[in-house]
Amino acid sequence: MSSLKVAMIGHGFMGAAHSQSWRSAHRVFDLPADPQMAVLVGRDSSKAAAQAAQWGWESSSASWQEVVERDDIDIIDIVTPGASHAQIAIAALEAGKHVLCEKPLANTVEEAELMAEAAERAAVRGVRTMVGFTYRRVPAASFMRQLIAQGVLGEIQQVRASYRQDWLVDSTAPLSWRLQQDQAGSGALGDIGAHAIDLVQFTTGLPIQAVSGVLQTVTEHRPLADGSGFGQVSVDDLALFNGRLGNGALASFEASRVATGRKNALSIEVSGSRGALAFDLEELNSLQYYNREDQQDRQGFRNILVTEPVHPYLSGWWPAGHMLGYEHGFSHQVKDLVESISGPTPAHSTFAEGLQVQRVLDAVARSAGNESAWTQVARESRIHLA
């Protein structure tokens, strides 16, 4: 059994989830190679060392540059904030490392394009890239894509997607870095709207080609963290937009941090000529399916528990009917990445796909700045989209 040495750059909350998956995936699935948790990288040496010990990484380092150049490292896993993604990822790709990068791919389209180009150059040499759109790999979402690809919905006629949270309803919540554009790049739109965009494109197989949208900052001034007064919020709390898909169908989107009572509610419903499918992350083991071809008097949305061995990714886990949670998408991500590294083809959610999401986000922001006028998503790309 060969192994793949992994270095993880960064160690925030995402680092915890990634560590759990690097630790688990090959214990649960029969993988062609075992990931080896080699190095954890963090700017503060002692913090990085402590976190490495906690999470089970063999060593730690304060220099991602050194780690990226190490001959023995196979995979670079980037879980830092978006502003540093481009620099690290491009260096890693040029050093021939496979790269897993958290979403969003970058804070700007320009950086994302550079990353996608680097990925395209590296791909020639068999180097794999993956963006961390883990919700794709929740079994119910993967199964939704499978069913749609099989034609179960017929022609897709309408899509609705929303991602709703409520942590900014509290007007006394402080002005964190996430609420400042220079650091976060974007607000609800980029943080959670990106997941909704990706899930629509992934499950339907249809790209968003144009958008019309509006952004709003509900609470414009918030207390500074140091108690010295109030500061200006410079990102959106709420994004509402419509998109036109590749087949002409309309899709509606909502990304909200002010949806009182909604904690992590990512929902998508796809309506087609033969049926409909609906998924909600707050019931992540279920998929709702309506079949127009059921006998007429007994049609209805079926609540399919996506927990059977016939469903995607389930064979590795527990017996039928046992629930998975949020973190399992990360293990499936590791599984797919490792298998693609050992196999002939890339797995889905490549950097090229991450760039496409970035372009949609950018078009929404431009539309919002132009009275919600319909705005084309850039396509004239220097790189090939999968």
List the interface residues with its own copies, window 234-263 (CB under 8 A).
Answer: 238, 240, 242, 249-250, 252, 254, 256, 258-263
CB 89 within 8 A of CB 63: no
3 binds its own copies (CB under 8 A): no
Residue range at the interface with its own copies (CB under 8 A); choices 84-92, 129-137, 200-208, 279-287? 279-287
Task: Give least dist CB 285 to its own copies, A.
Answer: 8
Task: Give least dist CB 133 to its own copies, A.
Answer: 16
- How many residues belong to the chain? 386
The residue from 46, 171, 232, 342 that contacts its own copies (CB under 8 A) is: 171
**Residue 247 φ then ψ, to 5°:** -95, 5
**Residue 271 φ then ψ, to 5°:** -110, 130
CB 17 within 8 A of CB 77: no
Task: Give least dist CB 113 to its own copies, A.
Answer: 27
Nearer to its own copies, 276 or 361 (CB): 276
345 binds its own copies (CB under 8 A): no
| Calpha distance 103→194 (Å, rounded) | 8
Task: Give least dist CB 214 to its own copies, A.
Answer: 6
| Calpha distance 276→156 (Å, rounded) | 9
Nearer to its own copies, 311 or 359 (CB): 311
**Beta strands 221-223; 265-272: pairing state:** unpaired
Nearer to its own copies, 80 or 307 (CB): 307
8 binds its own copies (CB under 8 A): no
Nearer to its own copies, 97 or 311 (CB): 311
Contacts of 305 (CB under 8 A, 6+ apart): 285, 286, 321
How many Cβ atoms sit within 10 Å of the Cβ of residue 275?
Answer: 20
311 binds its own copies (CB under 8 A): yes
284 binds its own copies (CB under 8 A): yes
Question: What DSSP element (H or E) covers 184?
Answer: helix 181-184
List the interface residues with its own copies, window 360-379 (CB under 8 A).
Answer: 371-374
